[in-house]
């Protein structure tokens, strides 16, 4: 076509067959999470002759239980390939593999949280490692604010409400970990919960059950938020645990969750909240907490044995 005697050059059409730019989802099957978990698991196995089937995640101020493990190998998270590192106060940041009595266990002295800047997948990565280690049961503990329960109470988690806005299973699903749509209707193992309540009562501790609401933090909740949480059925509130539970159930690991109520939730008492109070309360209930775990571990080991009927 000519205009004013001059031929106009048309714009070159884009090449629709050009290779797409590389993206996070371009080749999701090679995301490498499974391989990273396997690498971390093999490193841990190279550091200890023990092969635990039970793992514990010990939350704020609750890590001293792992100091009582016998034949212990202590591995800083910084040494484990691909392992996230704790930055929160009260989280020592090391994995302890040892024995409680005759039972081999792996205990995390501290966890990582979304509020530290980690993604949900990074927060739950240690659970992926436990899955590759052959762990069959995880005990997840945390420090929580009490909506229904008073300070110093130990509470078995019956269910949770995920208000963190993220899920560690978002994105490509690696079937080697578990199914695309895992069932969460019994996320917290009923038999384990019954054991915990029963052993707590036997020890004279007095254990309740409740629903845990997970928020991102790091700021404590407002009184209005606590009123909302009470309305929707929450008894406890915290900033952890739920991503780990989701990842554990995705890999068909049985879960027990235990909260230590370290402070009254905002607005329950006419006083400000601070992390020092959390750590002080955890230290006060340490004896009851350790006694409960020691009583529970043989029961859980028996329950996960290949010949056990649940």
Beta strands in the chain (DSSP E): 2-3, 6-7, 54-58, 70-76, 94-100, 103-109, 137-146, 154-162, 208-214, 236-238, 254-264
Catalytic site includes residue 82: no
In the set 33, 38, 116, 301, the catalytic residue is 116
**Using the 8-state DSSP alphabet, how is residue 73 labeled?**
E
Please tell me which residue, 280 or 230, carries the higher pLDDT value: 230
Tokens 């989701």 -> residue: 246
pTM score of the predicted model: 0.87
**Using the 8-state DSSP alphabet, how is residue 114 labeled?**
G
In the set 33, 40, 104, 113, the catalytic residue is 113
Catalytic site includes residue 253: no
In the set 106, 108, 137, 143, the catalytic residue is 143
What are 177-231's pLDDT values in tens digits?
A: 999 999 999 999 999 999 999 999 999 998 999 999 999 999 999 999 999 999 9
In the set 142, 263, 264, 301, the catalytic residue is 263
Catalytic site includes residue 68: no
What are 45-91's pLDDT values in tens digits?
A: 999 999 999 999 998 778 889 999 999 999 999 999 999 998 877 67
Catalytic site includes residue 15: no
What are 91-124's pLDDT values in tens digits?
A: 789 999 999 999 999 999 999 999 999 999 999 9
C-alpha neighbours within 13 Å on the C-beta side of residue 22: 2
Closest CA to 56 of 284, 261, 289, 268: 289
Strands 54-58 and 137-146: parallel
Contact 163, 213 (CB under 8 A): yes
Cα separation of 243 and 128, whole Å? 11
Tell me the domains of the chain and their CATH numbers. Answer: 33-304 (3.40.50.1580)
Quote the tokens at residue 177. 């970990």
Catalytic site includes residue 115: yes
Catalytic site includes residue 250: no
Cα separation of 123 and 105, whole Å? 20
Contact 215, 241 (CB under 8 A): no
In the set 240, 251, 259, 303, the catalytic residue is 240
φ and ψ at residue 213, rounded to 5 degrees: -100, 130
Catalytic site includes residue 60: yes
Q: Mean pLDDT score of the chain, rounded to an integer?
A: 88
Cα separation of 249 and 258, whole Å? 16
Q: Give me the pLDDT at residue 274, please.
A: 75
Cα separation of 124 and 202, whole Å? 33
Catalytic site includes residue 113: yes
20: pLDDT strictly greater than 50 = no
């Amino acid at each position: 076509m000519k205009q004013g005697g001059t031929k106009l050059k048309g714009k070159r059409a884009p090449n629709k067959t050009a290779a797409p730019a590389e993206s996070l989802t371009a080749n999701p099957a090679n995301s490498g999470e499974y391989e990273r978990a396997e690498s971390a698991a093999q490193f841990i196995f190279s550091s200890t002759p023990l092969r635990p089937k039970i793992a514990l995640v010990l939350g704020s101020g609750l890590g001293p239980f792992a100091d009582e493990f016998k034949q212990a190998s202590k591995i800083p998270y910084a040494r484990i390939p691909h392992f996230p590192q704790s930055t929160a106060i009260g989280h020592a940041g090391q994995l302890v593999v040892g024995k409680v009595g005759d039972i081999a266990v792996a205990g995390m002295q501290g966890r990582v949280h979304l509020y530290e800047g980690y993604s949900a997948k990074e927060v739950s990565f240690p659970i992926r490692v436990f899955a590759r280690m052959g762990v069959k049961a995880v005990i997840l503990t945390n420090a929580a604010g009490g909506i229904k329960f008073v300070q110093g109470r130990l509470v078995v988690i019956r269910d949770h409400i995920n208000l963190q806005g993220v899920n560690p299973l978002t994105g490509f699903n690696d079937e080697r970990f578990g199914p695309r749509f895992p069932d969460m209707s019994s996320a917290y193992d009923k038999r384990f919960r019954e054991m915990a309540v029963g052993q707590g009562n036997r020890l004279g501790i007095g254990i309740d059950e409740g629903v845990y609401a997970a928020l991102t933090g790091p700021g404590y909740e407002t009184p209005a938020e606590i009123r909302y949480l009470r309305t929707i059925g929450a008894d406890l509130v915290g900033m952890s645990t739920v991503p780990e539970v989701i990842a554990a159930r995705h890999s068909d690991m049985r879960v027990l969750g235990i909260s230590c109520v370290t402070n009254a939730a905002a607005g329950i008492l006419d006083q400000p909240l601070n992390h020092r109070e959390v750590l002080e309360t955890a230290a006060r209930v340490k004896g009851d907490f350790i006694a409960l775990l020691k009583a529970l571990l043989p029961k859980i080991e028996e329950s996960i044995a290949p010949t056990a009927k649940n």
